[in-house]
Structure 1
Amino acid sequence: MTGLAFSGASVDGGLYTWITGLARHTPHAVNSVIAVWSDYGLALFGALMLAAWWRARSAGQARMVRALAAPVVVVVCYVVDVLVKAAFAERRPCRTLHTATVEACPGAGDWSFPSNHAVIAGAAAVALALAHRRLGRIAALAAVLMAVSRVWVGVHYPHDVAVGLAFGAGLAWFLMLQADRAAPLVGRMADTPLRPLVTAS
């Protein structure tokens, strides 16, 4: 384990309690909307990736290889994050600081650093930006909102989501650039029964 596993509260515990304090004084209806987004908002990134793939079918081989790579890259980033999370083993702030939160605190052993949601959101935003710039801008805004919501509902420290966004984005950038090497494979797929998957023509 590392220092963060033992001192998460000392990094930005004060900011965390300030944010969760604001949440406690926010109308229940608003908190309910934020909680739903926090729990299920990742589905938006899946929808955006589907849209990127659909548009890439008529945009050429280079765009298509990135559109197909995007979901694979996000899954790889998630798997790597699970390993990193287990290595740091940072306790959830709602367990360390015992503050009232919008959502119930995850169980013991469900570690906090870095945030899975933030890693996925950061990775998806970069992957989408490289696959389709306009959709990437939507994903970038959604990624920030996802990260903020995880702190707001009380399940993560701010540093969990900040590092998660940066880690997911950086790893996705590297992996997406490597994926460009698969362009010839996409070209060969166009001459197989999988042609509708990679081209609209």
Structure 2
Amino acid sequence: MQAPDFSVQLYRDVTEWAWGTPSWVHSVADVGTNAGLLLFAVLFVAGWWRARGLDARAMGLALSAPFAMVAAYLVSEVSKDFLQEERPCRAVSGAVHIASCPPPGDWSFPSNHATIAAASAAALVVVWRALAPLVLPLAALMAFSRVFVGVHYPHDVAAGFCVGVLVAPVVALVLVRAAEPLVDFMRGFSVGSVLLGVRPVPAVAGAGHGGRHGGGLGVGGRGGRPVPAAAAGATRVDDAAVTMPDVMGGVRGVGGPGGPGGPGGAVGRHHRPGS
């Protein structure tokens, strides 16, 4: 495969500009690509740990993400072996490059580093959307660094980036169909619950709280608002109608002269013998 002229010229422009930057920038750019891949590996672990407290689908996506990245890498690697584009650090006359040029047979198109970075970022976004502002710019910077250090054409990294962001999410969403029931099954065992987290307990919608006098509030009504216990079939005592003298009078009346079992058969504080 022959590199297009516009990409060759852009490669020259970027590498000549990169060559004029300070030496510490060269070192950061050369090491930064591999360091970025390690960061993505750490984020995969963080995504798994976070999913331990979530449902089976979330954990299934977290487990599928690394496999989705590997699938995108395999697409890139097979394409490289089929297309066989020579590296620009050998093919471009007078090319300057910061990183050492890969050996012959290590083809250029598409960029594996760009593919892995983009696939990792895209899979992580599927797992943990809040990471998007971090991982997507990081993947783009890692892809650009491969041109900056002189080992890839711009179209190599652009193609690799596209392969990563397209293949990884699709593979993750396909794999989760098999991973989700497997996660739910494994969480039923002690080892599985340690690695994958326990099954979340479903919350009871509209559950109420007990009242001050034990009557409390019953099961929630429409819109999640609790309803009085009387509406739920419980017996409600009218606090305003019952006072301590009433209670005491009732106790005295039971079985006594004014009680149900004694003469008069009346209960209450207003009934007096002989009244």
Q: Distance in 2 between matches of 1:28 and 1:41?
A: 20
Give me the CA root mean square deviation. 1.3
Name structure 1 gaps, 5 residues minimum: none
Instruction: Answer whether contact 1:125 1:143 (CA < 8 A) is retained.
Output: yes
Could you tell me which residue of structure 2 aligns to residue 162 of structure 1? 158
Instruction: Answer whether contact 1:77 1:172 (CA < 8 A) is retained.
Output: yes
TM-score by length of 2: 0.69
Instruction: Determine whether 1:143 maps to 2:136.
Output: no
Deviation of 1:200 after TM superposition, in Å, equals 5.5
Report the residue type matching 2:111 in the other structure: S
Deviation of 1:137 after TM superposition, in Å, equals 3.0
Q: Distance in 2 between matches of 1:124 and 1:86?
A: 22
1:72 to 67, 72, 79: 67
2:109 to 113, 119, 132: 113
2:175 to 176, 179, 185: 179
Could you tell me which residue of structure 1 aligns to residue 83 of structure 2? 88
Instruction: Answer whether contact 1:73 1:175 (CA < 8 A) is retained.
Output: yes
Report the residue type matching 1:45 in the other structure: F
Could you tell me which residue of structure 2 aligns to residue 191 of structure 1? 188
Deviation of 1:141 after TM superposition, in Å, equals 1.4
2:45 to 34, 43, 50: 50
Instruction: Answer whether contact 1:127 1:173 (CA < 8 A) is retained.
Output: yes
Instruction: Determine whether 1:25 maps to 2:20.
Output: yes
Instruction: Answer whether contact 1:48 1:139 (CA < 8 A) is retained.
Output: no
Instruction: Answer whether contact 2:67 2:172 (CA < 8 A) is retained.
Output: no
Instruction: Determine whether 1:34 maps to 2:17.
Output: no
Change in CA separation of 1:126 and 1:115 when aligned onto 2, cut-off 3 Å: same
Q: Distance in 2 between matches of 1:11 and 1:27?
A: 27
Deviation of 1:46 after TM superposition, in Å, equals 0.4
Instruction: Answer whether contact 1:122 1:143 (CA < 8 A) is retained.
Output: yes
Instruction: Determine whether 1:101 maps to 2:97.
Output: yes
Structure 1 runs of 4+ with >6 Å offset: none
| Percent identity between the two aligned chains | 42
Deviation of 1:87 after TM superposition, in Å, equals 0.4
Q: Distance in 2 between matches of 1:137 and 1:187?
A: 31
TM-score by length of 1: 0.93
Instruction: Determine whether 1:133 maps to 2:141.
Output: no
Q: Distance in 2 between matches of 1:31 and 1:200?
A: 47
Could you tell me which residue of structure 2 aligns to residue 122 of structure 1? 118
Could you tell me which residue of structure 1 aligns to residue 253 of structure 2? none
Q: Distance in 2 between matches of 1:9 and 1:166?
A: 18
Instruction: Answer whether contact 2:147 2:153 (CA < 8 A) is retained.
Output: yes
Q: Distance in 1 between matches of 2:123 and 2:133?
A: 11
Deviation of 1:104 after TM superposition, in Å, equals 1.2
Q: Distance in 1 between matches of 2:30 and 2:159?
A: 21
Report the residue type matching 1:177 in the other structure: L
Query: What is the aligned length?
Result: 196
